[in-house]
Structures are given as structure tokens and as C-alpha cells.
Amino acid sequence: MQKNLIYLIVAAVILVVVVSQSAYVVNETQQVVVTQFGRPVGEAITTPGLKFKVPFIQKTNFIEKRFLEWDGDPNQIPTKDKKFIFVDTYARWQIVDPLRYFIRFTNERSAMSRLADILDGETRDFIASHNLEEAVRTSNREPVSSGIIGDMIGDSLMHIEVGRDRIQRMIRESANEQARELGLEILDFKIKRINYVPEVREQVYNRMISERMRIADEFRSEGQGEASVINGEKERELQTIQSVAFRQAEEIMGRADAEAAAIYTAAYNRSNAARELYAFLKSLETFEKTLDKETQVILSTNSDLYKYLKRMH
């Protein structure tokens, strides 16, 4: 009886070991390739659930079923119009044929390396086959005017035939032709960033600066022209104002002189004393305007000036 119990225990242990070696679970994120002595056996298992294999002889190889990420390194690529740019890309891919994938690759790192070679090569080929504008722009949008400067720069956008989105699709489709032979599928491919190499970037910046300087010179030239017109109008208005003021001043002085002459005449005709005073004052005025310390004057004895000088002496 004791011996039978031992046999039962041993049989149970062997059964547990056999079952544990033959049964395995596949979840929703996995797919399995079963190998026997290193070679695949049957088709790949892609459905989740409890599965069985031959114990001790067959081995399960679990393979990722979810979407995977590939992030490329920026590569320097010349465009069709000979402009060197850095192109940074990324992609999403999936293992769609696990059996073919298992035969071609030993692990996921090897698959990533081969995928990078495919995508980098296709990116280089398609970027080099198109101008820079095709790789940067998506559509032939109408430029939005940004005021006077925008109008002066004008519509510098070239017409594109392909565009960035279509180039991305062509890269993905061409790369998928090679990837499917490896059991892979590229689900999405995008150009993450495009930038000039430092040498070309410096040239672009200098060209932008020179363009803005040209526009600034045009503004300055127009401003100087407007300033000349304004200054000319100002000088013309100033001369007009001065001319009118001078005419009015002369008229006022003329009227004042006429009134003064009338007053002098009226005073002169009143009496001899007034006439003498008027003559004396006019003589003093004449002395003030004609004589100074360095002037020598020869006067006749019959001269009115001599008469007044003699009286003053």
C-alpha cells in the first residue's frame, strides 16, 4: 500500500512536470513561434489563450504583437536643388508575420537595425529626388499678406507638385515592400524635423538679413523723399507768411510815416517857434545819422547845419 502511494506521488509529480512543460499561455500582446531543435514547427500562434506543445522537445518563442516605435537619427541629405539639410524621422511598425520574422532575425534589436537601414535609405532616395520646397511644404496655400513688408517681399512661394505628405507616403510604401519580406509592416512614417546644415543656415540667415536691409533702405528712401516734400512745403509757406507780414509791416509803417508827416506839417504851420523846433530836431537827427568821432565835415557858413552848430557852440 505504501509502495502504491509512492508510485502515485511520483506519477503525479511527473504529470505536473509534463503538463507544465507542455502547456503555456499566450496573452493579447504576444504571438508565439514554436521550435523543435531550433527549427520552427507549424504556423505561428497569434491568438491568445492556453496552448500546448510537446514537452522537453519543443520550445516557445514569444514575439511582441503591439505597435513598436522607431526613432531615426538626423541624417544630412542633399536635395534635388543641391541644398544640404538634416532630416529627422520616426516611424511606427509591427511584426505581422512572426514566423518569417523569427527566421530572419534573432531578436528585436536586429529587426530595428534592419528597419533603420531600409527607412534611412528610402528617405535619402526620395529627399534627393525632390526640391527642398517639396520636402518642407504640404500644399500650395495662398500666402497671407503681412502688411507693407509682406507686399514688398511678394509671393516667393514656389508651386509644388508632390509635397511633404506625399513624400512621406511614398517612403512608407516603398519601405514596406522590403519590410514585408522580413515579416514587418511600417504603419506610419513621418518627417519629424528638417533643418539646414550650419553652413547653409548661415547663408540663409544672411540672405534674410540682406532682404530686410533692402526693404529698410527703401523705407528710408521713401521717408527722405517725403521729408523733402514736407520741408519744401514748409519753406514755401514760411516765405508766404514772411512776405505777407513784410507787406503788412510796410503798409503800417507807410501809414505811420504819413500820419507823422501830417502832424509835423500841422505843427510847422502853426508858428515860427514850431517851425524852428522842427528844423532843430531834424538837424539833430541828421547829425546823429551822419557824424561820428572820425568824420570830418566841411560846411558852408550859409548852411543850416553850420548855423545850428554855431549856436550849440
Q: How confident is the model at residue 224 (pLDDT cuts 50, 70, 90)?
A: confident
For residues 165 and 99, membership in a common domain is answered with: yes
Q: Which three cell numbers stand for residue 50?
A: 492556453
Residue 202 lies in a domain: no
What's the CA gap between 248 and 242, in Å, rounded?
Answer: 10
On whether residue 157 sits in a domain, the answer given is: yes
**201 within some domain:** no
The answer, as to whether pTM is greater than 0.75, is: no
User: Does 131 lie in the same domain as 249?
Assistant: no
Which of 149, 128, 268, 145 has its CA nearest to residue 217? 149
User: Which is more confidently placed, 120 or 106?
Assistant: 120
Q: What is the largest CA-CA distance in the chain?
A: 187
- Given a cut of 70, is residue 142 above it in pLDDT? no
DSSP structure string for 3-61: HHHHHHHHHHHHHHHHHHHHEEEE-TTEEEEEEETTEE-SSPB-S-EEEE--TTTEEEE
The CA distances from residue 219 to 152, 226, 263, in Å, are 10, 10, 65
101 and 158 fall within a common domain: yes
Q: Is residue 27, in this structure, part of any structural domain at all?
A: yes
pLDDT in the model for residue 301: 67
The per-residue pLDDT for range 159-175, each reduced to its tens digit, is 788 889 999 999 999 99
pLDDT for 164-222, tens place per residue?
999 999 999 999 999 999 999 999 999 999 888 777 677 767 777 888 888 888 888 88
The CATH number given to whatever domain includes residue 74 is: 3.30.479.30
Q: Structural domain tally of the chain? A: 3
Look at residue 71 in the predicted model and tell me its pLDDT: 92
| Model pLDDT, residue 179 | 93
Q: Of 33, 64, 95, which residue is a domain's last?
A: 64
In a domain, 160, yes or no: yes
Do residue 81 and residue 180 come from a single domain? Answer: yes
Could you tell me if 180 and 282 lie in one domain?
no
227, part of any domain: no
Q: Tell me the residue range of the domain where 184 lies.
A: 68-141+149-196
Shared-domain flag, residues 273 and 183: no
The verdict on 261 and 174 lying in the same domain is: no
Band (275; pLDDT cuts 50, 70, 90): low
How many whole angstroms separate alpha carbon 146 and alpha carbon 224? 24
pLDDT tens-place string over residues 70-105? 998 888 888 888 888 889 999 999 999 999 999 888
The verdict on residue 188 lying in a domain is: yes
